[in-house]
A and B are shown apart, each in its own frame.
Chain A
Amino acid sequence: MPIIEISCYHVWREISNYIDGEIDPELRRRMEEHFKGCEHCSAVLDGTQNVLRLVGDGRTFELPAGFSDRLKKRLEKDLGG
């Protein structure tokens, strides 16, 4: 089956769904084909995936120091447990 080309613009609109696997196989095939031939779009894809790796490592937000102790005290006080 021939792969119908799609525009960069169309790729950007779907790039997030592409990363999440939320697109149908036909569109996925077309996008994969596009990334092979388009440096702009593959840079956008790589960069977006890098952002997700950076923020997904669990170290972006830490609890403020003493958070758990203050929470436990509050619960003890208010729940009378």
Chain B
Amino acid sequence: MPKDKSGRTLEQEIMLIDRVCAGETHLFYELISPYERQVYVAAFSTLQNEADAEEVAQEALLKAFSHLSGFRRESKFSTWLIQITINEARMKRRKDRKALYESLDKQNTDEEGDYIPKDFADWREIPSESLERTELKQALQRALASLDGKYREVFILRDIEDLSIAETAQALGITEASVKTRLLRARLQMRDALAPGYDGAWSLGENQWKKVRPW
């Protein structure tokens, strides 16, 4: 039986869905618990704020519960949850329209000028112990925050949450071609933001990055 990230088979998942729909509402948390982090991260990708992301994640899951019988099983259950969450998050953003979110609101324009990589420093080695470092985590958060909303959403779903290109397109309601274009921009910008020596804010103590500039 193929199991996905949730650690259960598709059959088991469908059975759980059916039981919840049939009135065993206490099983709903069990049904969604493998995806609660993904739902939270999806909300965060749009809102960039922990408290708002948590609130929206809860609202989205309640909405998923009330529409559960309408889940048509053409997509993965997790993708469906993420889709609902992104919609909730966008609605919240629209409702709030605070200055804080204004810069994220250029979502629908798709003017992609070509993005030229800025830094060609060599950057081949990543010691795995470095992943633990708070510094690195903060650098990642900063780099993500520096992306435009439409790039950040695609990058987070595809590269952090590991959705396929098709699932990312579905969750965001955009075409696969748009996913690919935005992904390119997002990845190159993330690389430029994180390439050591470029932003200079981040070193690894004795394990200095090897810096090679070809010119």
- Count of A-B contacts judged by CB separation below 8 Å: 129
- Asked if B16 is at the interface of the complex by the 8 Å CB criterion, the answer is no
How many chain-B residues does the 8 Å CB contact rule pick out?
Answer: 50
CA distance A55 to B154 in the complex (A): 13
CA distance A65 to B11 in the complex (A): 32
CA distance A22 to B168 in the complex (A): 15
CA distance A53 to B184 in the complex (A): 16
Evaluate contact between B188 and A60: CB separation under 8 angstroms: no
Q: Give the shortest distance, in Å, between B88 (CB) and chain A (any CB).
A: 14
Evaluate contact between A75 and B187: CB separation under 8 angstroms: no
Q: Which secondary structure dominates chain B's binding surface?
A: helix
B24-32, B72-80, B92-100, B103-111 - the one binding chain A: B24-32
Which residue of the partner chain, among B27, B115, B160, B194, contacts A61 with CB atoms under 8 Å? B160
CA distance A20 to B159 in the complex (A): 10
Evaluate contact between B160 and A12: CB separation under 8 angstroms: no
A residues 27-50 in Cβ contact with B at 8 Å: 39-40, 43-44, 46-48, 50
Evaluate contact between A54 and B136: CB separation under 8 angstroms: yes
- Asked if A25 is at the interface of the complex by the 8 Å CB criterion, the answer is no
Sample 13 A-B pairs with CB under 8 A, ordered by A number: A12-B117, A16-B188, A20-B183, A39-B214, A40-B120, A40-B214, A43-B121, A46-B124, A47-B123, A56-B160, A60-B141, A71-B57, A75-B28
